[in-house]
Structure 1
Amino acid sequence: MQPFTTPAFLKSASAFDDQTAALGEVRPHPTEESLLQLGHALMTELLDVIADTALEDYQTILGEALIGAFHSAAGRIERDADRARDTMRALDRDFDGSEAADVELQEATAKARAGDAAARATELIRDAAAHGWTVSTGEVWTAWRGSRRGGYLTAAQLEAKHAIRSIRARKSGEADPGGPVIAFRGAPSADTAEDAGRIFDALNWALAQWPDMALATTGAKGSEKLAIKWSQQKGVKLILARADFDAHGKAAPFRANDDLIALEPACCLTLAHSLDQGRCAGGRPFGPAMNLGQKAIEHGVRHVAIRVRSA
């Protein structure tokens, strides 16, 4: 295992430390750096213990389960914070100007803010564990899935309104790609060094054309995992349109293409088969990648097929 250093894409100029300091808690929160160290240490310990043992065959399941546990916990904490925000809205709507109502509103606001901090702390542990997983294995983890009385506002009401506006803005920002979408679909077998080089070339070209781009893919194994790794290295926002096999069966990869097209991409990149001669000889092109290219043309979206580098 490599010694832990905070990766650039996880650093946030101590935004978490600033966030927790503003809460005014009697008990201090762990620092951002200590949470990142914890996530890395947990993954390091897991991989070190199972290395060269019979459990090594199940390394992927165990590693992803560890990361997924923190992802699930962050979601549960965030849902609790959302319920506190619902309470804030109800209290703000029915505020009667009394001291008791003011105290209750302050408590709901504090609970929501504390929940946001706890969710962020859990996400930091998750992201550090996921980074350690990628560094050690080369695999990229991705998540699956009333009237008021009186003519003035108290300090608690102002803070509650600000908190509500902030969370709406934050969640809107997370849901909004924030820039042009570049869609990519590639063959699972296209995961050789030659494939990776050309995929990265294509994505670097797209980033030069659309500097504020977001990358959209289904997260399938092989070439799409390589594209996800590129997005993490470049700090490019990632949008996952996962194939839902439970709902759509064999048609799921093609229904996922419909989701990609619905994002109104500026360009669709496809790699229908490996560019490695030994890997693609006699093999059939990857149907879902070809289908995305066809859908792009039908919808008037620019389509670029990734090919072997010209001599």
Structure 2
Amino acid sequence: MTRFTASFSASPKTDSAFDDQAAALNDTRPHPTEAALVQLGRALMTELLDVISDTPLEDFQTLLGEALIGAFHSAAGRIEREADRARDAMRALDRDFDGSEAADVELQEATAKARAGDVATQACELVRDAAAEAWTVSTGEVWTAWRGSRRGTHLTAAQLEAKQAIRAIRNRRAGEADPGGPVVAFRGAPGADTSDDAERIFDALNWARQEWPDMALATTGARGSERLAIKWAQQKGVKLILARADFDTHGKAAPFRANDELIALEPEVCLTLVHSVDRTRADQRPFGPALNFGQKALENGMRHVPIKARAA
């Protein structure tokens, strides 16, 4: 099992916006602080990895680690949906409010439920993101949500599904909500995962961020080089858009359908790394989906920048 030694930065002593929001619930029971929830997430992941280390369960480390993080991600989503239902009730009660004491009590209860749900959702996200940070520090692996979008805390970048981002772009064309900053898309070979590859990928992404400081990074989340790009986005606090390859629906064509979703995001620049820049790697065959993505970028009149090894 690959383990990396690193220290976490200490949590701030001062109250956070989360702590203020929790205190505003006016619940007689003390609420866990942000620092306590962050520590809980780190401790849960560290304990899991320590227990399974050097045991047969180590072979299932990735599955177990991602399941632990995903449990809090799922819980956050379920609580958020409950809070949304409470908000729907609030709107209905406010619309039909008749001034009676019973209606007033019902409206207050729905409001309190929505506010409590919002705090509980954030609490789950804090535990989730702290566990994900500990997972990356300990194993070098990066966790991303398999389904849906992920709202980030101060620990990680936000994550959007490509379909959601595409809809937002279409809305922007219609004069509706602006989805945010420009998109930088990246496709890379799974085998391009050496330290040399990481250096060149980070160089390219740092350049892109200088060009577009409010950029979002779009990729498919595939293993290897694209996971390195995701790690960069999380470290820099850059919004992440994932166009995952849906093999169940599209079979072997899935990576190329994912390319279509990336192109539909209308990226400012398309970055590709078709094979490892490490010349000691035996397999230097270009990665087909990355080649295809570069071709589609040019066909659609988009800027394409291939990532290559440094000049000797």
For the superposition of Structure 1 and Structure 2, which TM-score range results when normalised by the shorter chain?
0.7 to 0.9
- Residue aligning to 1:266: 268
Give the Å deviation of 1:206: 0.2
AA matched with 2:289: P
Residue 9 of structure 2 aligns with which residue? 5
Counterpart of 2:130 in structure 1 is 128
- How many pairs are equivalent? 282
Tell me which of 59, 75, 79 is aligned to 1:73. Answer: 75
From the superposition, tell whether residues 91 and 29 of structure 1 become closer, same or farther in structure 2 (CA, over 3 Å). same
User: What does residue 154 of structure 2 align with?
Assistant: none
TM-score (norm 2): 0.86
User: Quick one: which amino acid aligns to residue 199 of structure 1?
Assistant: I
Question: Greater CA deviation, 191-200 or 87-96?
Answer: 87-96
1:157 is matched with none
Superposed, 1:1-311 pairs within 5 Å as 2=6, 4-6=8-10, 14-145=16-147, 177-279=179-281, 281-311=282-312
CA contact (8 A) 1:177 1:237 kept: no
1:87, distance to aligned residue in structure 2 (A): 0.9
CA positional deviation for 1:140: 0.4
Q: Residue 6 of structure 1 contacts residue 36 of structure 1 at CA under 8 Å; is this kept in 2?
A: no
Deviation string 1:272-301 (CA, Å, 9 cap, x unpaired) is: 11111122x454211111111111111111
Which digits, 9 at most, give the CA deviation of each residue in 1:86-133, with x for residues without a partner?
111211222222222122111111101100100100110000000000
Give the TM-score taking structure 1 as reference length. 0.86
How far residue 13 of structure 1 moved from its aligned partner, in angstroms, is 7.0
C-alpha spacing 1:71/1:282, structure 2 compared with 1 (3 Å): closer
Query: In the aligned structure 2, how far is the partner of 1:189 from the partner of 1:58?
Result: 22
Report deviation, 1:208.
Answer: 0.4
Deviates more, 1:57-66 or 1:91-100: 91-100
Unmatched 5+ stretches in structure 2: 148-159, 169-177
Larger Cα Rg: Structure 1 or Structure 2?
1
Match of 1:162 in 2: none
Counterpart secondary structure, 1:229: helix
Deviation at 1:304, TM superposition (A): 0.4
SS in structure 2 at match of 1:277: coil
Residues 181, 216 of structure 1: 8 Å contact kept: yes
Distance 1:51 1:193 in 2: 25
- Cα drift, residue 248 of structure 1: 1.1
Give the drift of 1:239: 0.9
Q: Distance in 2 between matches of 1:63 and 1:284?
A: 32
Q: Report the Cα distance in structure 1 between the residues aligned to 2:137 and 2:298, rounded to whole angstroms.
A: 38
CA contact (8 A) 2:270 2:303 kept: yes
Q: Which one is further off, 283-292 or 61-70?
A: 283-292
The answer to which structure has the higher helix fraction is: 1
Runs of 4+ more than 6 Å apart: none
**What CA deviation, in whole Å up to 9, does each residue of 1:6-51 have, x standing for no partner?**
589xx99712111111222211210000000000000010001111
> How much is the aligned-residue C-alpha RMSD, in angstroms?
2.2
The structure-2 alpha-carbon separation of the partners of 1:28 and 1:79, relative to structure 1 and needing over 3 Å to count, comes to: same
Against the structure 1 CA distance between its residues 293 and 229, is the aligned structure 2 distance closer, same or farther, given a 3 Å change threshold?
Answer: same
CA contact (8 A) 2:276 2:284 kept: no
Is the 8 Å Cα contact of residues 188 and 226 (structure 2) preserved in structure 1? yes
